[in-house]
Amino acid sequence: MSNARQIIALSKELSGRWVIPILLALESSGGRFTPLQNQLQIAPARLSGNLKQLNALGLLRHLSPYERRHPLLPEYQLTDKGRLYREAAKAMRYADTEIGHGLLSARAWNMPVLIALHMQYDRFQDIRTALGSITPRMLSMRLDELNGAQLIDKQIMETPRPTYAYGLTAITEAPVSRMADDLHSLL
C-alpha cells in the first residue's frame, strides 16, 4: 500500500465523533469507564459501542477483572497501536485548531477528504477511489460542506469534457500538509 493510501486509511480509522476524544482522554480518566463517560459527556451505550469498536481495531484492550484496580469496574488500556493512533489523533486535533473551523475531525470523512486533496486527488472519482468505501452521496455532501466553509476550492475544468476539480485553499493547505507529514512520520 502506498504512503498516500496508508495516511488516508489512518485518517479514516480516526474519523468520527468519538474516536479522537476517547483516544485522547482514556489515560487521563485512568482507563475507567465512568470517569471517561463523565469527562466526555457521552451516553453510556454510545461509549460502550465505541470502546468495543476500538477494541476490535486493536487500539485498546478491556482489562480482565484480575488486571483492574477494582474487579467490578470496567477498565481499558491503550495498546501499542492505540498509543500510535493517539499521537495521530493529536496531530489531527492540532490541524483542527489551526484551521479554526471547529472540530472537522468529528465529522466522518472530513479529514480523509482533505488529506486526499492534499495528496493531489483532485477530481470526484479520483477522491472516491482514494477513499475506498465512501458513497458518492457522502462524498458529494462532504465536498459541498467543505466548499461552503471555504476550506476547499471547486473549479470547473473544460477539457476534455466539463468536470469539477477540487483543491485546498490557503486556509487549509499548511495545516493539512503538516498533519499529513505527522501521520506519515507515525507510519
Domains of the chain in start order, with CATH, are 3-186 (1.10.10.10)
Within the chain, which residues score under 70 in pLDDT? 1
Three-state SS at 91 = helix
> In one letter, which amino acid is 61?
R
| Residue 27: per-residue pLDDT | 85
CB 3 within 8 A of CB 187: yes
pTM, two decimals, is 0.86
| pLDDT given at position 105 | 85
pLDDT of 151 reads: 93
Main-chain phi, psi angles of 60, to 5 degrees: -145, 165
State residue 111's pLDDT score.
92
For residue 163, the surrounding DSSP H or E stretch is strand 163-168
* Residue recorded with cell 480516526: 14
Using DSSP, state whether 167 is helix, strand or coil.
strand
